[in-house]
Amino acid sequence: MIVRTIGETTGTTTTRIAHEPSGSVIETMAPADNGGEGLLFSPTDLCATSLGACGSTIMSMYAANAGIKLEGIRFTVEKEMSANPRRIGKLVVQYELVTDCDGTEFKKLINAGKSCPLRHSLHPDIVLDETYTQVSK
């Protein structure tokens, strides 16, 4: 499946990107430590947070298909940049899964989350530190 997005610069440090199938639009800005004002997601922020979104989506879909009651997922992502070359060096992702499922089902949810396509698209030099916590409602 091919999905097309269309982007354009809207200033020296900003872009506007449209998702062609839905018409949804996002804007990005260079981060404050790299010449921008940091008022919007940076492109690397989007990449980093997309890992949390992708893992959460895959776990939610798995739970629905497997009949596992999952009330919701909250996640936080911390991105650490590296220099020479400037790139994402480390991602710390914390998932909180609101579920009363048993330990076996919880491990299956974690394995599903770790199968997300974005995770498998990241460069192997990026350090991933992921935690999965089960939270009762």
53 and 116 in a single domain? The answer is yes
10 and 68 in a single domain? The answer is no
61 and 33 in a single domain? The answer is no
Q: Residues with Cβ < 8 Å from 132, sequence gap 6 or more?
A: 95, 97, 106, 109, 110, 113
Q: What b/e string do you get for 62-71 counting C-beta neighbours within 10 Å, with b at 16 or more?
A: bbeeeebebe
9 and 54 in a single domain? The answer is no
61 and 117 in a single domain? The answer is yes
> Do residues 18 and 24 lie in contact, with contact meaning Cβ atoms separated by under 8 Å?
yes
pTM for this predicted structure: 0.94
17 and 33 in a single domain? The answer is yes
Query: Residue 77: beta bridge partners?
Result: 93
What confidence score (pLDDT) does residue 104 get?
98
53 and 35 in a single domain? The answer is no
Per DSSP, 32 falls in state: G
What confidence score (pLDDT) does residue 4 get?
98
Nearest CA-CA partner of 59 in 130, 109, 133? 109
59 and 22 in a single domain? The answer is no
> Do residues 128 and 116 lie in contact, with contact meaning Cβ atoms separated by under 8 Å?
no
62 and 126 in a single domain? The answer is yes
7 and 57 in a single domain? The answer is no
CATH number reported for the structural domain that contains residue 101 in this entry:
3.30.300.20
What confidence score (pLDDT) does residue 44 get?
97
Q: What is the mean pLDDT of each run of 10 residues along the chain (137 residues)?
A: 97 98 98 95 98 99 98 98 96 98 98 97 97 93
33 and 57 in a single domain? The answer is no
The tally of domains found in the chain comes to 2
Structural domain containing residue 27 = 1-40
126 and 64 in a single domain? The answer is yes
Is the Cα torsion angle 114, 111, 53, 73 positive or negative in sign?
Answer: negative
